[in-house]
Each structure stands twice: as C-alpha cells, then as structure tokens.
Amino acid sequence: LNLAVITKKYKRDFVVTGHRIPSDISVDDQNRVIAEVTKTCTAIGYLNGPLDFDARISNDRVTIIEMSPRLGGNGIPVIIERGTGVDLFSTVIQQSLSDKVKLPEKADIHRSCGALIFGSHTEGILEHCAADREIMHAVPEIFEYHLYFKIGDEVPRFTHGGNSLGYAFFDCPPQLTYSSVVARIINTLQIIVSKKSTNRNQRGVN
C-alpha cells in the first residue's frame, strides 16, 4: 500500500456513528493489518486505486472482514485530510483522469480529529436540531458541520448511514477524548422529532 490510515470506528448496536484518528491500535498491529491487506490485494490483482476495508485483529491473525475499491464512507476522507493533510478526494479524481498521483510513503498524523454521524431514534417530523452557528459556537472543536434536513421535514429512523441527519467533524485536542467531545455535540444538537402527521408532505433531502 502506498498510503494507509487506520481509523477507530464507533458503533451503536450495528450502526456506525463515527470514526477518529489516530487509532488506538498499536503500531505493530497496524503493520500486521497493512501486511494482510497488501497480501489480499496482491492475490486479487488490485494494485492501484482507493481502498476501504474493515479488519478484525486477534493474537494469531488479522481477518479482513470486508474491502471495496472506494474511499471510506462516514466522513473518513474528511478527517484524514484534516489529520494528515492528504486530500483523498483530489487524489482519486486525478487518478481517474490518468494523471500521475504522488502520495507520501507514510501518512503522518499531526492532528487528532473525529467524525460524528447523528440521527433520530424514531421517524417523524424534525422539530428541532441545532443550526451550524449555534453548535459551532457551543463546541468550538467542530471545524465542519452538515445538517441535511430542515425543521419541519420528515426524517427517517437512524438505522444506517443513509438515514443520518448529518455529520459533525471536530478536532480532539490532547486534553479531550473523542467521547467527551461527542457528548457535548449531542447535548447541543437537542434533536427533537415528533410523531409523523398524515397530512404533512414529505420534504426530506436525500
């Protein structure tokens, strides 16, 4: 692999709720993962292009759970660029246009940061969710925030990433943990969803 950044994944039940870098996986285990992914890619002949993968690590082996020839979802490229300075979106576009792409041999993480994917526990009508100015003022660690619905829109239950309400991307200074920043964000979001009314039209943004 020319470049590998391993993130820490967070879940609620089986729903992915966020990622952060750097991962808390040891350097030795990260090298084991990279070696196993490299071996797998070589075996199937995938030698050039983006790659997203999930792996499970045990004492005696690394198991590749899934992999696909694409950039990672759930905001992973955004936090990689924030943390390492490597713009994966531009890199993949350049490669698709057959331009020469030069990546660093190692992605040095100079900033700890994370992504939070947030959604509603129930489907219904969005009555309240913090606007960008409000949440970025309350949680200054946030550097990018997206809310994909408007107040009054019908929103789905958060059962997978496609049903999310939005994303928050934030820095994790040394004195703070990922979980502590996420708790402040969720507390500020104050998501309120009321029961769906039969006489309202759906206005959700897909």
pLDDT confidence of residue 152: 96
Those residues whose C-beta lies under 8 Å from the C-beta of residue 17, and which sit 6 or more positions away, are 10, 11, 116, 117, 118
* Beta pairing partners, 189: none
* pLDDT value of position 184: 96
- Residue 206, pLDDT score: 41
So what's the pLDDT on residue 166?
97
pLDDT given at position 199: 56
Q: Burial level of 18, CB count in 10 A (0-12/13-18/19+)?
A: buried
Per-residue pLDDT of the chain (206 residues; tens, 9 = 90+): 667 888 989 998 889 999 999 998 999 999 999 999 999 999 999 988 899 999 999 999 999 999 999 999 999 999 999 999 999 999 999 888 877 788 887 778 999 999 999 999 999 999 999 999 999 999 999 999 999 999 999 999 999 999 999 999 999 998 899 999 999 999 999 999 998 765 545 444 44
Structure confidence at residue 2 (pLDDT): 67
pLDDT of amino acid 12: 87
- Cα separation, 119 vs 96, in Å, equals 33
For position 115, what pLDDT does the model report? 97
Q: What confidence score (pLDDT) does residue 47 get?
A: 87
CA 46 and chain centroid, separation: 24
pLDDT value of position 106: 77
**pTM for the full model?**
0.87
